[in-house]
């Protein structure tokens, strides 16, 4: 994997020149990601180019083809070859016999310093289990709770959102805090600074992409019914793993209020299956064969029963679209549904604030690692 930076850019030439490369060098724009260009000159060889403004990430399974692409780019632009990738868009990449480790240690340390928390004691969890945050409500003495500089809160949350690229352990907390961007209060700011103090405990924590040859995709999905204290909307959380490697995850408040925990679980299942469809398509573009059904682990027997039962009942008609969608993918063999105990549900960390012991256990299952201590987070 090679990093290349285009030093000289002419006006409006970036997209046009990439289009020229697309036409003359048999590069095709990815169907699922518009920043990815791919070339497959031979059946067994391919080259991928990830484009972000003037930074290019080039990879493939043939060093000769990668060299040809770099030579072509050098003839079209003045480029700087940064060699084997070590740092890209704030993400640090390290290699070992175990695999590739993605972390944002420098980004975290800068965040801690800018927040003025370099001398504070770290916290063991990003958010307390009993913490209840509500939106600002106008009242007689409410104005004194508002932040005088709300843009400081918004800037901090924006930086934390980018940090979730490699830190699934803060995804739920950041999802909660991002709901109060319009009128943040002192309590919201205190909770956000608590996440930063938690990051201080393990700034080098990152994701391990294992080097083993297991390419089987599995999924864990979960929901927290009525999680939002203001709107009573539920929270969806899911994660996808390839072998033992965590490749994608998401935590998001659902767009509508669910009238039962089963409905919330089924909506989460529908969102997870949508992500599976995208990942399977991406794997096909990358010429990765995955004929087996994706195992989806859900801790709701009722949701699994709805997906497997062809008979619709009156109580499920309001989620009929999700029912049809999940059932179609189940019958086509794209997914297989497996019940898992709530205690073994790895997506729990994406739907609720958990305690210290539970968090360590979950992070160890997700394959997070701190290369600066050479220990898994679950063992720290």
Is 87 a residue whose pLDDT tops 50?
yes
Supply angle C-alpha 171, 173, 178, rounded to 5.
Answer: 95
CA distances from 187 to 148, 173, 191 (A): 13, 14, 6
Is 233 a residue whose pLDDT tops 80?
yes
Tokens at residue 9, please? Answer: 């850019």
Residues 175 and 195 in one domain: yes
Mean pLDDT of 327-338: 88
Overall domain count for the chain: 3
Confidence of residue 376 (pLDDT cuts 50, 70, 90): very low
The pLDDT of residue 106: 93
What percent of the chain lies above the pLDDT cut of 70?
81
Higher model confidence: residue 39 or residue 226? 226
Range of the domain at 10: 2-85
Is 31 a residue whose pLDDT tops 80?
no
Q: Quote the distance between the C-alpha of residue 177 and its chain's center.
A: 17
Residues 327 and 230 in one domain: yes
Residues 25 and 142 in one domain: no
CA distances from 350 to 31, 172, 228 (A): 29, 5, 14
In tens, the pLDDT along 272-331 reads 999 999 898 888 877 777 888 999 999 888 888 888 776 655 455 556 666 678 888 888
Is 171 a residue whose pLDDT tops 60?
yes
The pLDDT of residue 77: 78
The pLDDT of residue 113: 93
Cβ-count burial 198-227 (b if 16+ within 10 Å, e if not): bbbebbbbbbbbbeeeeeebbbbbbbbbbb
CA distances from 273 to 26, 77, 220, 254, 294 (A): 32, 42, 10, 15, 9
CATH number at residue 313: 3.30.420.10
CATH number at residue 66: 3.30.310
Is 84 a residue whose pLDDT tops 90?
no
The pLDDT of residue 21: 45
Separation of first and last alpha carbons in the chain: 31
Boundary (domain end) residue, out of 203, 233, 262: 203
The pLDDT of residue 38: 60
Confidence of residue 191 (pLDDT cuts 50, 70, 90): very high
Higher model confidence: residue 167 or residue 38? 167
Residues 71 and 123 in one domain: no
Confidence of residue 139 (pLDDT cuts 50, 70, 90): low
Q: Among the listed ranges 27-31, 80-84, 102-106, which one has the minimum average pLDDT value?
A: 27-31
Supply angle C-alpha 182, 122, 235, rounded to 5.
Answer: 45
Confidence of residue 170 (pLDDT cuts 50, 70, 90): very high
Residues 158 and 123 in one domain: yes
Is 36 a residue whose pLDDT tops 60?
yes
Q: Are 74 and 44 in contact (CB under 8 A)?
A: no
Residues 159 and 246 in one domain: no
How many other C-beta atoms are found inside a 10 Å radius of the C-beta of residue 24?
A: 10
Boundary (domain end) residue, out of 145, 177, 203: 203
Mean pLDDT of 97-113: 91
Work out the mean pLDDT of the chain and round it to a whole number. Answer: 80
Is 370 a residue whose pLDDT tops 80?
yes
Confidence of residue 7 (pLDDT cuts 50, 70, 90): very low
Higher model confidence: residue 378 or residue 55? 55
Nearest residue to 92 via CA among 198, 3, 219, 212? 3
The verdict on residue 289 lying in a domain is: yes
SS (H, E, C) the chain: CEEEEECCCCCCHHHHHHHHHHHHCCEEECCCCCCEEEEEEECCEEEEEEEECCEEEEEECCHHHHHHHHHHHHHHCCEEEEEECCEECCEEEEEECCEEEEECHHHHHHHHHHCCCCCCCCCCCCCCCCCCCCCCCCCCCHHHHECCCHHHHHHHHHHHHHHCCCCHHHHHHHHHHHHHCCCCEHHHHHHHHHHHHHHHHCCCEEEEEECCCCCCEEEEEEEECCCCCCCCCCEEEEEEEECCEEEEEEEEECCCCCCCHHHHHHHHHHHHHHHHHHHHHHHHHCCCCCCCCEEEEECCHHHHHHHHCCCCCHHHHHHHHHHHHHHHHHHCCCEEEEECCHHHCHHHHHCCCCCHHHHHHHHHHHCEEECCCCEEHHHC
Residues 334 and 245 in one domain: yes
Residues 287 and 337 in one domain: yes
The verdict on residue 150 lying in a domain is: yes
Residues 133 and 49 in one domain: no
Torsion of CA 83, 89, 92, 95, to 10 degrees: -40
Residues 159 and 219 in one domain: no
Residues 119 and 177 in one domain: yes
Is 240 a residue whose pLDDT tops 50?
yes
The verdict on residue 149 lying in a domain is: yes
The verdict on residue 230 lying in a domain is: yes
Residues 223 and 342 in one domain: yes
Residue that the structure tokens 């080039």 belong to: 58
The pLDDT of residue 158: 94
The pLDDT of residue 377: 39
Confidence of residue 10 (pLDDT cuts 50, 70, 90): very low
Is 23 a residue whose pLDDT tops 50?
no
């Amino acid at each position: 994997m090679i990093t290349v930076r285009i030093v000289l850019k002419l006006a409006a030439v970036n997209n046009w020149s990439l289009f020229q490369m697309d036409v003359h060098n048999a590069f095709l724009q990815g169907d699922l990601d518009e920043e990815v260009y791919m070339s497959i000159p031979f059946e067994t060889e391919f080259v991928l180019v990830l484009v972000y403004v003037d930074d290019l990430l080039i990879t493939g399974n043939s060093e000769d083809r990668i060299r040809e692409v770099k030579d072509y780019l050098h003839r079209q632009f003045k480029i700087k070859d940064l060699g084997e990738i070590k740092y890209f868009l704030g993400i640090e990449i390290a290699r070992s016999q175990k695999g590739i480790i993605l972390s944002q240690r420098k980004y975290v340390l800068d965040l801690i310093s800018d927040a003025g928390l370099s001398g504070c004691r770290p916290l063991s969890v990003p958010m307390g289990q009993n913490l209840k945050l509500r939106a600002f409500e106008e009242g007689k003495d409410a104005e004194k709770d508002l932040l005088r500089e709300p843009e400081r809160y918004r800037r901090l949350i924006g930086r934390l959102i980018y940090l979730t690229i490699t830190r699934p352990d803060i995804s739920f907390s950041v999802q909660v805090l991002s709901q109060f961007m319009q009128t943040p209060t002192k309590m919201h700011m205190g909770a956000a600074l608590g996440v930063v103090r938690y990051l201080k405990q393990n700034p080098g924590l990152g994701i391990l992409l294992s080097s083993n040859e297991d390419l089987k995709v599995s999924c864990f999905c979960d929901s927290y019914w009525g999680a939002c204290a203001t709107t009573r909307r539920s929270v969806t959380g899911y994660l996808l793993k390839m072998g033992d490697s965590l490749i994608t995850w998401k935590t998001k408040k659902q767009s509508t209020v669910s009238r039962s925990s089963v409905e919330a679980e089924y909506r989460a299942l529908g969102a997870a299956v949508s992500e599976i469809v995208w990942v399977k398509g991406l794997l096909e573009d990358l010429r990765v064969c995955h004929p087996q059904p994706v195992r989806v682990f859900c801790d709701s027997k009722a949701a699994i029963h709805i997906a497997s039962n062809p008979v619709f009942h009156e109580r499920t008609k309001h989620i009929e679209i999700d029912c049809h969608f999940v059932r179609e993918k189940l019958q086509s063999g794209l997914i297989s549904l497996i019940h898992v105990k709530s205690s073994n549900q790895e997506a729990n960390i994406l739907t609720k604030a958990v305690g210290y012991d539970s968090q360590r256990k979950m992070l160890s299952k997700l394959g997070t690692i701190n290369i600066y201590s050479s220990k898994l987070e679950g063992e720290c």
